[in-house]
Structure 1
Amino acid sequence: MFSYRHAFHAGNHADVLKHTVLIATLDHLLEKEAALTVVDTHAGAGLYRLDGDYAGTSGEAADGVLRFFAESSKAAETPAPGAPAAKSAGKKAAVPAEDKPVAEAIARYLSVIHDFNPKGGARVYPGSPFIVQHLLRDHDKLKLFELHPTDSRTLGANIAQLEAGRQIAVLTEDGFGSATKFLPPPSRRALVLMDPSYEMKTDYGRVLDFAAEALKRFATGTYAVWYPIIPRPEAHDLPRRLKTMATKAGKSWLHATLTVKSSKITKDAASGETQRPGLPASGMFLINPPYTLKAQLAEALPQLAERLAQDRNAAYSLESGG
């Protein structure tokens, strides 16, 4: 139950997608003066060292956020140019255009990463809790749930350094079991992020159950679900069922996916050993998304697919409804 540690995956291509979407969503929600409450159901440890033992063991950040920075110790502090905006959803990665600037949503994401690495590069990677706290105003609230005992202690220690007082609550509880107690918040404005590990197949069903209950309690909240796209029926069924849920509730929705490589299992020609591809793709599904988000992702997704591609199967999709 407690085997998953996000430290091994910090800064990978899935984090780039998730946090690009998260920042763009928050930027829009924070344009209004009224207080915003953010609930993170699976907060992790909050901060990660990409040159540490965990991230160094997996090396996933090298094919994620570090693709946007120079490999030398004097990493570039500004992103390289990217690819043109998407003309339609579901396309292969766009051909890079060296005279085009990086998409606004990607530039914003990289600026936040830079804020945690003022000397350049990306040695420190902020997880969702620290990204959110970095953007929130003094009168906003952040509720962090983390059930893994080690990560919860680390999260608490990391958050304590911020001296944020009562603005942030760290709870060693099951987010799916108790996060709805904060809905609706007094200001009636909230963003809820759901990104469990999905190590257990039951996580897919629990996402759906939690989202359904949250919508009943607080129909106007913004709900963001990250999920892995892997060869498992539950993974492909999740976005379809979320669409059905949002449509029946009369709510708008947005679904973005990013694929960086093939999901096929192969065999090494020399050794005959089975080669598993790792995580090939992931998606973000939002209910009640900002109206500005689709246009931002239409520009950013083809660039992400081109920059983070690990083989010729790199692609993206973007669809919306409601």
Structure 2
Amino acid sequence: MNYRHSFHAGNSADVVKHSLLIALVRALQQKPGALTLIDTHAGCGLYDLGGDEAQRTGEATQGVLRAFADANPLLDDYRVAVQAVNVGEEPRLYPGSPQFLAQLLRPQDVLILNEKHPEDAYTLRGAMRGTSAAVHQRDAYELWLALLPPRTPRGVVVVDPPYEQTDERARITATLAAAHRKWAHGVTVVWFPLKDQATHRQWKQQLRRLGIPKFLVVEHWLYDSEQPGIYNGAGLFIVNPPYAFTQELPPLLEALRTALAPEGHKGEIIAGWLGD
């Protein structure tokens, strides 16, 4: 399943992913110690919702625009972060994960971004100009392991690949196992698309065999029943989520489900521990 982000910027998956990233980092920032934030597949950093690629799919209408039309205050932090890169009430630009993370930085925190695609890496450097972010252009999985453990005691690794390669899930699984051996207490966030339940169930079984103790799974299914052959939603694997984050998660997930449910569907967001 190919997922070139410029075609999907601001869709429902982005709303869930970025809302949860904000909540996760802020939960970690309840302690004053410095954080290192690493984004292994950083993309372009900023996306034009009026551009040809985004307009071709129109997915932002079912994502960020729904979130902006919803009145639930639990989505305020997300809306403020999107608004920060826009002028006017309706978002014309959409911030990628690097921009969301940059907005969350405290003076003691560190942001490291990586994008292997040369053109996207060039665009990313321009989008992050004026921030303290370091930008690399390396293989994502090599960089993931090379930077662990980070120089600060705590940190977050965000893994958000396009799933263009057939071995993407296998590489994530193998690298996550190695990363956990190097940095067992670190927080890792892995984004994934949901196309069919069978593929996702098989991957969860493989990840379960890694034996990682604190492994949270969040799945956002858009439709009330599986729609064969199409994009059905997305979710996050989160290793070592902080307690404050898991406590705040249920009402936030319900707010997201309500805001993003397609016409005629209630949708479903499920959160649970992988070992359960």
Tell me the TM-score normalized by structure 1. 0.79
Q: In the alignment, which residue of structure 2 is the partner of 1:259? A: 221
**Residue aligning to 2:106:** 137
Alignment of 1:290 onto 2:242: yes
1:187 to partner: Cα distance: 1.7
Deviation at 1:4, TM superposition (A): 5.1
Q: CA contact under 8 A between 1:229 and 1:236: conserved in structure 2?
A: no
Query: Measured at CA, do residues 152 and 173 of structure 1 come closer, stay the same or move farther in structure 2, by a change above 3 Å?
Result: same
Write out per-residue CA displacement over residues 257-300 of structure 1, whole angstroms, 9 at most, x where no aligned residue: 111125424xxxxxxxxxx53x2111111110011222322112
Return the match for 1:308 from 252, 260, 275.
Answer: 260
Figure out how many residues of one structure are paired with residues of the other and give that number.
Answer: 273
Q: Per-residue displacement from partner, 1:141-168 (whole Å, max 9, x unpaired)?
A: 11111112221111112122x2x3xx32
User: Aligned match of 1:172 in 120, 134, 137?
Assistant: 137
Partner of 1:35: 34
Query: Secondary structure of 2:184's partner?
Result: coil
Map of 1:66 onto structure 2: 65
Stretch deviating more after TM superposition (9-18 or 49-58): 49-58
CA distance in 2, matches of 1:199, 1:129: 21
Deviation at 1:254, TM superposition (A): 1.6
The alpha-carbon deviation at position 313 of structure 1 amounts to: 5.8
Amino acid at match of 1:290: P
Alignment partner, residue 272 of structure 2: 319
Say whether the 8 Å CA contact 2:216–2:241 is kept in structure 1. yes
Identity of aligned residues (%): 36
Aligned residue runs from structure 1 range 62-141, under 5 A: 62-70=61-69, 79-81=70-72, 102=73, 104=74, 106-141=75-110
Contact 2:40 2:143 in 1 (8 A): no
The residue aligned with 1:184 is 149
Kept after mapping to 2: 8 A contact 1:147/1:174: yes
Correspondence for 1:47: 46
Q: CA deviation at 1:172?
A: 1.2
Distance 1:306 1:219 in 2: 35
Amino acid corresponding to residue 13 of structure 1 in structure 2:
S
User: 5+ unaligned residues in a row in structure 1: which ranges?
Assistant: 71-78, 82-101, 266-275
1:131 Cα deviation (Å)? Answer: 0.4
Residues 68, 178 of structure 1: CA spacing in aligned structure 2 closer, same or farther, 3 A cutoff? closer
Q: Distance in 1 between matches of 2:191 and 2:205?
A: 14
Aligned to 2:180: 215
SS at the partner of 1:209? helix
Aligned-CA RMSD value: 2.1
Distance in 2 of aligned mates of 1:183 and 1:177:
10
1:57 matched to 2:59? The reply is no
How far apart, CA to CA, are the structure 2 residues paired with 1:242 and 1:313? Answer: 29
Q: Distance in 1 between matches of 2:3 and 2:178?
A: 26
Tell me, in whole angstroms, the C-alpha distance in 1 between the residues paired with 2:179 and 2:99.
24
Check the 8 A contact 2:187/2:241 in 1, yes or no. yes
Q: Partners in 2 of 1:225 and 1:64 — Cα distance?
A: 20
Structure 2 unaligned runs (5+)? none
- 1:204–1:235 CA contact under 8 A, matched in 2: no
Change (3 A) 1:4 1:64: closer
- Secondary structure at 1:39 match in 2: strand
The structural deviation recorded for 1:232 is 7.1
Structure possessing the higher radius of gyration over alpha carbons: 1
